[in-house]
């Protein structure tokens, strides 16, 4: 579905070969869960898409245009099954001046996501290659923006799988937990959910924020603070949280087994409620 609400055949070519999304990953995107015939947590995703667009110097698309395209795409998809809805926005063709490219795509959920939801994930901690204070010194690195340049993220997941895990957690050169390639890290300390601050150069998570917004109503405290690998290993439980997978309990870290907290089911239900509430 294009931004002007034209339905395109998914099996037909759409992008030009010289679109900067393909040539340079020069664009931004968002991924949302479609459930029960609606796009979940939409306001937060549109706000983050606008922030990412500004970080790249892209003209910010009116939220109403995205909403119209999303509404039509979800209507065509129907309410029979969950889907992964992507908003993709690039700088457009290489020599097309100010003509940007934007579209909406809905796909079935991948088996990897469903398996992670149901059974959790073992993770490897991987060096990100920069210190936790880099964001304030190097804004051109676009830390905290959700760009199309995801090759490193996908390589990290493949490396984890090749080495006996299911997912990865990036760690700064000074020893702080950052984020997963496509998920936020949230640990449990007693009855408090803890996540690293976005100031460490990580993508602000829409799902984690939605969970923290209502956590107190469901008996959990919240804290945003730096976390080390030792903190993670000593936690009473930990999860990878994202918009489509929702919550995947971390079952092991670098081969060391993590506890399954008695509130694991409560956390899973909390995440469901959080992303569906608006």
Domains and CATH numbers, the chain: 20-109 (3.30.470.10), 113-276 (3.20.10.10)
182 CB-near residues (< 8 Å, 6+ apart)? 153, 157, 242
DSSP 31-53: EEEEETTEETTHHHHHHHHHHHH
141: left (phi over 0), alpha (psi -120 to 50) or beta: alpha
Percent of the chain with pLDDT over 90: 81
Residue 224's DSSP bridge partners are: 195
How far is Cα 122 from Cα 111, in angstroms, rounded to an integer? 16
DSSP percent split of the chain into helix, strand, coil, nearest 5: 35, 25, 40
Name 64's Cβ contacts closer than 8 Å, sequence gap at least 6: none
Largest CA distance in the chain: 57
Which run of H or of E encompasses 84?
strand 83-90
CA-CA-CA-CA torsion sign (23, 29, 33, 38): negative
pLDDT in tens, 181-209: 999 999 999 999 999 999 999 999 999 99
Q: Is the pLDDT of residue 216 over 70?
A: yes
CA nearest 96: which of 39, 26, 4?
Answer: 26
Average confidence score pLDDT of the chain = 93
Share of the chain above pLDDT 70, in %: 100
- The CB density around residue 13, as the number of other CB atoms within 10 Å, is 8
Give me the pLDDT at residue 5, please: 78
Residue range 49-58: mean pLDDT, rounded: 95
- Using 50, 70 and 90 to split pLDDT, how confident is the model at 278? low
Q: Mean pLDDT across the stretch 135-164?
A: 91
Question: Looking at residue 6, what is its pLDDT?
Answer: 83
Q: What is the pTM of this model?
A: 0.93
Q: Report the range of poorest mean pLDDT among 42-46, 76-80, 110-114.
A: 76-80
**How deeply is 207 buried, as exposed, middle or buried, from its count of CB atoms within 10 A (0-12, 13-18, 19+)?**
buried
């Amino acid at each position: 579905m294009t931004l002007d609400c034209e339905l395109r055949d998914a099996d037909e070519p759409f992008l030009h070969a010289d679109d900067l999304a393909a040539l340079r990953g020069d664009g931004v995107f968002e991924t949302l869960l479609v459930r029960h015939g609606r796009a979940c947590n939409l306001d937060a995703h549109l706000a983050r898409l606008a922030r990412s667009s500004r970080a790249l110097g892209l003209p910010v698309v009116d939220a109403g245009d995205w909403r119209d395209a999303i509404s039509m795409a979800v209507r065509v998809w129907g309410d029979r099954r969950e889907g992964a809805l992507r908003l993709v926005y690039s700088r457009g063709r290489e020599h097309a001046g100010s003509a940007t490219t934007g579209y909406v795509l809905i796909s079935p959920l991948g088996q990897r996501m469903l398996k992670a939801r149901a059974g959790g994930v073992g993770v490897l901690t991987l060096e990100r290659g920069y210190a936790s204070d880099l964001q304030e010194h190097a804004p051109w690195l676009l830390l905290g923006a959700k760009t199309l340049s995801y090759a490193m993220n996908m390589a990290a997941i493949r490396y984890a799988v090749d080495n006996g895990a299911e997912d990865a957690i990036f760690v700064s050169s000074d020893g702080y937990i950052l984020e997963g390639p496509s998920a936020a890290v949230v640990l449990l300390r007693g009855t408090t959910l803890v996540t690293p601050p976005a100031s460490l150069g990580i993508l602000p998570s829409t799902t984690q924020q939605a969970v923290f917004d209502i956590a107190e109503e469901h008996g959990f405290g919240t804290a945003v603070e730096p976390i080390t690998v030792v903190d993670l290993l000593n936690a009473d439980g930990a999860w990878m949280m994202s918009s489509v997978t929702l919550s995947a309990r971390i079952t092991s870290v670098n081969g060391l087994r993590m506890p399954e907290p008695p509130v694991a089911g409560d956390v899973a239900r909390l995440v469901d409620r959080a992303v569906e509430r608006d």
